[in-house]
Structure 1
Amino acid sequence: MRRKNTISELVAVAETRGCSLWQVILEKEERLQGRDRKDIWRTMEKYWAVMKESLDAGLQPGNRSLSGLVGEEGFLLTRYLEKAKPLSGSGSVLAAARAMGVAVVNASQGRIVAAPTAGSCGILPAVLATVAERTGASEEAVIGALFTAAGVGMVIDEQASTAGAKGGCQAECGSASCMAAVAAAEMAGGTPRQAVNAGALALKNFLGLVCDPVAGLVEVPCVKRNAIGAAVALLAADMALAGIESKIPLDEVIQAMKEVGDALPDSLKETSLAGLAATPTAREIEKRIGAGDRGNNHPGLLKV
């Protein structure tokens, strides 16, 4: 049985070699896939191109999901940003708007990248686009950050899960926020250790978050959770870059997430049987729209 990867091992290799996490992860992918590095890089460039398309599409006016439950949240938040001085800072608000926009593209059956899942697809692209603009990072730096995020997501998937049906929304939006925080901190010039501290700071604030989609659709509360996940990732990255550390290492936070997920009842794992999905308003919505199959998240790791 192959030994599972750990975050601490990735950091140790990066520190020993004096390189970034993404370089270590790209080399591991090269060995695992048996493909040329340039070919793997080109694949990630294609993922980023799809992410940018969904970022642009998500902020357009008139967007609505097929159910009509969500739609212009991203557009409304960007309009607010243009007219007001946001209480939580312009970067956080812009990232939140972008994250909701991408999530709506998913709910409208548009093309997105599952990062790591369709239900959490807005967090990573929103954070990376916002950090790139604020730091002037190159396209190459963004692609590198995607490898960092993917590497962290793979460890989470090995050690725990990124599927709401197994671990609740902590495993989806929590994992995505963790991945985005690590990638953002590294892209902004943080060390590998600072980057993984950012991931730990983000993920541990999602522990216990249940997966309770109203009417079984990846819309309410999923779209707004993407916004919060993006904002948390940025704050966690800022905290880590300021020198604030998580007292609990990321590997242990991931293990705690698994234990919490295992302890959650099935009613809070994407079944729409409890939580927000069982509220009177949610049940009325379910009757009104005549929802079909429940729980339509599709686990994946940077997949179109």
Structure 2
Amino acid sequence: MHSYSKVNLDDLRYFLALARHGRLVAAGERLGVEHTTVSRRVAALEKAVGHRLFERTRTGWAFTDAGRRLLPHAERIEGEALLAFAAPEGADRPVSGVVRLIATDAVGSVIVAPALAPLHEQHPGIALELVTTSALISHQTGQFDVAITLHRPQLPRFQVRRLCDYALRLYAAPSYLAKAEPIRSAADLADHEMVWYIESLLDLPELRFFHEVSETASFAFRSSNVFAQLEAVAAGIGVGLLPCFLAEQDPRVEPVLQHELEVARTFWMIVPSAQVNVERVRIVCDHVARWFEDRADVLKPPLPPTA
């Protein structure tokens, strides 16, 4: 039998860091220690509880059954400690620490990254990290503090907050439109070259919808990267269905069928429950939410009046 009185509760910080980041080096970076320290402290915790908590995989460290059972208790202890030692409301002290955000490629680069500049100016002690991806976020690994995603998870231990809708519309380069057949309706798209994602590589089900636009379209160019799609459209390869916040301000492309065809999707903010009451995370969440709200007309621009 093992005596749980021998458990060093500070070792739970290292357990949680490895749980959230999956790699010893990444966990060490977040805690400001060497990866060997993380390994040693997790091993000490495993010895105290009498169970292996992680197992090595090809992609990093994953929970054993014992580690998975320990996780919600460790998160609850962490949350209570954060509340216990938080400064009284109104106390004048700088907020510090790392907050990692994860977002889809386009919105992360075009919307979220600019939002972080005024946030950093106001709270220079908060170190901001932004990961962009076109893949479905793995909510089980907890490798983020704040996620901006199209996919709303139906999972416990996460707080989900609706940010706003955004629009995708058709765009093409003037050089393409000058040599192509006229596009007067969605039915005409069957005679045109299209630019879109490689849907077999798409993890996000919310982006597998081109059949709603045209069931007979032929594709001249596909890419897993939306910036590459924009460049292909601007180069005149074909007609692309692009986020308005990415294409509307690009002088190299112009809208096509904008009054007839629009696809709307929703951005969601996801925060692990254990991070909800962490002051630096709450500050980042509130700032980013206001930033999205203030840019509703950029994310889903109003249509110009019809002629």
Structure that is richer in strand per residue: 2
TM-score (norm 1): 0.24
TM-score (norm 2): 0.24
Structure that is richer in helix per residue: 1
Structure (1 or 2) with the larger CA radius of gyration:
2
